[in-house]
Amino acid sequence: MLEKDDEKRRSKPDFVQPCLARLGSPPDGPEWMHEIKFDGYRVQAHIVKQEGRCNVRIYTRGGHDWTEKFGSLAADLGKLTVTSAILDGEVLATDQKGRISFSALQAALKPGSKKRSAVTLVVFDILYRDGNDLRQMPLAARVARLADVLSDTDKRSAIQKSIRLEGAGDEVFAKACEMGLEGTVSKRLDRPYRSGRHGDWVKSKCARSGLFVVAGYVPGKSAAKTVGSLVLGYPQGEQLIYAGRVGTGFTVREAAAIWEGLQSIRRRDGALSGRLKAPQRRNVEWVEPVVVAEVLYRDVTDEGLLRHASFQRFRNDKSPMDARPPEELKVEGEDRLKKRARRSEK
């Protein structure tokens, strides 16, 4: 039972260093709750209403004031029935296909963008409310307070409460990955809100695996005769389509071995179709498109390029025709965000 002393009355603090999640496997047990891990901007919203005036500030994870960047979110936050509050959450945006997209979020936040109203704030914690510091309360109690604050918001609102996923940690994580989500965040229900990375929250990330043709490489900068990144592509008819680069997943020794192995198949020009942008061509040494690499990646940009890619191994048992386009991020169950994005474009 929550003791009355757990809710401490004090003046609203300034920016609070956020609670951060450790990377790990999804935990299980009744003391844990699980939520979707979204690919957006972590923010902290501060609301103060006094003498008929409402002041709302939205800070990034690093404490930078981005209130103006987030367009009408401040006005939506000001409609909440609180006199003061600090909310912790994530700002998201969807692309034209209704998929949660970090690229779409970046585009929405550009100066002059007409899509700023398409962003949504998903709130998952409350640190302060109406003169009471809630950080020492267990998460279960804070979640109840948050549900009360957001009880008047409807499905059309830009402010939404994070959805709690029911089930065992590994089952919830597997389902999230099947849906094409970034992963899950598991949180201890009995813990207070502690700034920093303490293990009270655990993030588990999904990753996709794909086969790609090595079309070239960029020499390493830290050591001679090494690769810094591999240039990737995939076949589409008679063409080889650019899929991006991968520059992690190998040690310096492995980078040297890869460089050595590619020297015998170097060629003067690239085999990729279409004209690459200058940054994509810069310092590239081209090779014959005969080597296949297995690569892990988290997501795909709007341009079809890999995000957060990591080299796994070469697949000598595969031919270039076995390579496929990167899998698109397909998100199910996000109709609410999709509808909001469509309405904002009308």
Q: What is the pLDDT of residues 200-250, one digit of tens each?
A: 999 998 888 899 999 999 999 989 999 999 999 999 999 999 999 999 999
Higher-pLDDT residue of 329 and 106 is 106
CB atoms within 10 A of CB 231: 26
pLDDT-above-90 percentage for the chain = 62
pLDDT in the model for residue 7:
58
17-206 CATH? 3.30.470.30
- Same fold for the pair 17-206 and 208-322: no
End-to-end CA distance of the chain: 49
Q: How far is CA 140 from the centre of its chain?
A: 25
State the catalytic residue, choosing from 12, 37, 69, 115: 37
CA atoms within 13 A of residue 206's CA, in its CB half-sphere? 24
pLDDT in the model for residue 96:
75
Which range among 70-79, 118-127, 181-190, 327-336 shows the weakest confidence by mean pLDDT?
327-336
For 75-118, write each residue's pLDDT tens digit.
Answer: 999 999 999 999 999 999 887 777 787 778 888 888 877 665 67
For 11-52, write each residue's pLDDT tens digit.
Answer: 778 899 999 999 899 999 999 999 999 888 999 999 999 988
For 248-263, write each residue's pLDDT tens digit.
Answer: 999 999 999 999 999 9
pLDDT in the model for residue 47:
97
Residue boundaries of the structural domains of the chain: 17-206, 208-322
Higher-pLDDT residue of 344 and 205 is 205
pLDDT in the model for residue 346:
42
- Above 80 in pLDDT, residue 330? no
Does 37 participate in catalysis according to the annotation? yes
- Above 60 in pLDDT, residue 148? yes
208-322 CATH? 2.40.50.140
Task: State pTM to two decimals.
Answer: 0.69
